[in-house]
Structure 1
Amino acid sequence: MSLWETQMRKENLSHFPSCQTMKEKLSTTVFPTAQFADKLSMLAADFRRRFADFEAQKSRFELLANPFGVDVESAPPNLQMELIELQCNDMLRGKYERVGAAEFARFIPDTLPQLRIQAAQMLSMFGSTYLCEKMCSLMKLNKTEHRSHFTDKHLDSILRISSAQSLTLNIDELVQKMRHHQVSDSVSDK
């Protein structure tokens, strides 16, 4: 954003081809590059404000992203001894290299409770975002031209089943309902 703002103030529109086209069609004295640069500056300030929480958590994200590369002395005191133990464990290092940062948190042993808590806290920040993206993708897959006969009720059912954290089937209850339904249908037919 800073690069764009600086270049806009210098009337360098190389990253803005539409603005370049507009400038060529208008006279150069009319094109409002300063106003656009001010808008970019406000946008950058808004980004900094909106993501200030992430900046404050940067060291915690780095710890989760690469626990083997983080400087132990700069880590919070409650994690330092566990970090040393983790970084000295070649088996865990190998597991980290095989599964990657996103999956590694599941393999942090119970003997490192503070690191497990730290990982759980950081990963829980993204659970709802993941579920939203998953549901949008699922909706897009199901709402296609080939499946246009789906009603809103069908889609609601698909989303409900897909977003359920744990589903257990009660076969006995389903059989009872089907029997009851069949009995009531046969009685009403007579």
Structure 2
Amino acid sequence: MRDPQFLADLAFLTDMTQHLNELNLKLQGRNHNIANLYGNVNGFRNKLKLFKTSLQQDDFPFFPSCKEHYLEMKNFEECNFLDHLKYMDEIIVEFERRFADFEKIESDIALFTQPLTIAVETVNIDYQLELCDLQSDPFYKGRTETGIDFFKLLAERFPKLTNFGQKMGSMMGSTYLCESAYSTMKFIKSKYRSSLTDTSLKHALRLATTNINVDIDRIVKDKLTKQ
């Protein structure tokens, strides 16, 4: 713990882990689609380049632990973080590799997020004719809905764009929904529910994970009325 270089490594690890944790939190939660994931990841990739530049200049506005260690050591022993640039390069390359598939659907994400302003010639030819009509319709120009909520408005007049919106909206933005569903299922399948069947588990899990407000009292009342 008295080795300046070890402390520099520890400070760098602390700050980078904090940045990665912040990104991880942004990718969690409900109602995240592929466009949200794309925006958060691309934003972090830009941040990585900014982080690298700050380390090259011995300037640490984004690395508080590194800054504290640098100020403590510069009057006693030489301290720099240039050795950590190679780690920044490795992180940048790794993000480029892991999210390379984004480049394949970049135009689809652009259409999903800005259907009224995107250049028609840049999108898939299957959607160009409907997109021309959509962008010329004054009814849709004044709409404030975005994402899947906007594409729900197109169901009757623009079937191809509607299918496109449903496809993009169904892409999971993260594994959070899967992980939370497993946690919910574990809670439901307790030792106190000995009569739980596969069918009832499916219904209970679906009810516990849905975003739709279910009026249980009304459903029970209707059932009792029919009987």
Which TM class, normalised by the smaller chain length? Answer: 0.5 to 0.7
- Cα distance between partner residues in 2 of 1:116 and 1:134: 29
1:130 is displaced (CA, Å) by: 6.4
Please tell me the root mean square deviation across aligned C-alpha atoms, in Å. 3.8
Partner of 1:184: none
Q: Is the 8 A contact 1:6 1:37 kept in 2?
A: no
Partner of 2:198: none
Q: Does 1:83 align with 2:120?
A: no
Q: Report the CA distance shift for 1:16/1:127 in structure 2 as closer, same or farther (over 3 A).
A: closer
Q: Is the 8 A contact 1:72 1:84 kept in 2?
A: yes
Q: Does 1:67 align with 2:104?
A: no
Which AA in structure 2 matches 1:22?
H
1:128 is displaced (CA, Å) by: 6.7
Q: Rg bigger for which structure? A: 1
Q: Does 1:22 align with 2:59?
A: no
- Cα distance between partner residues in 2 of 1:83 and 1:33: 51
Task: Note the 1:29-40 alignment, pairs <5 A.
Answer: 30-40=78-88
Q: Is the 8 A contact 2:70 2:80 kept in 1?
A: no
- Cα distance between partner residues in 2 of 1:68 and 1:151: 44
Partner of 2:170: 124
TM-score by length of 1: 0.65
Task: Note the 1:106-185 alignment, pairs <5 A.
Answer: 106-126=152-172, 129=175, 131-132=177-178, 153=190, 160=205, 161-163=207-209
Partner of 2:89: 41
Partner of 2:149: 103
Q: Report the CA distance shift for 1:98/1:20 in structure 2 as closer, same or farther (over 3 A).
A: closer
Partner of 1:6: 53
- Cα distance between partner residues in 1 of 2:211 and 2:71: 56
Partner of 1:145: none
Q: Report the CA distance shift for 1:48/1:123 in structure 2 as closer, same or farther (over 3 A).
A: same
**Sequence identity percentage:** 25
Count of residues in correspondence between the two structures: 157
Q: Which runs of 5+ in 2 are unaligned?
A: 1-47, 194-200
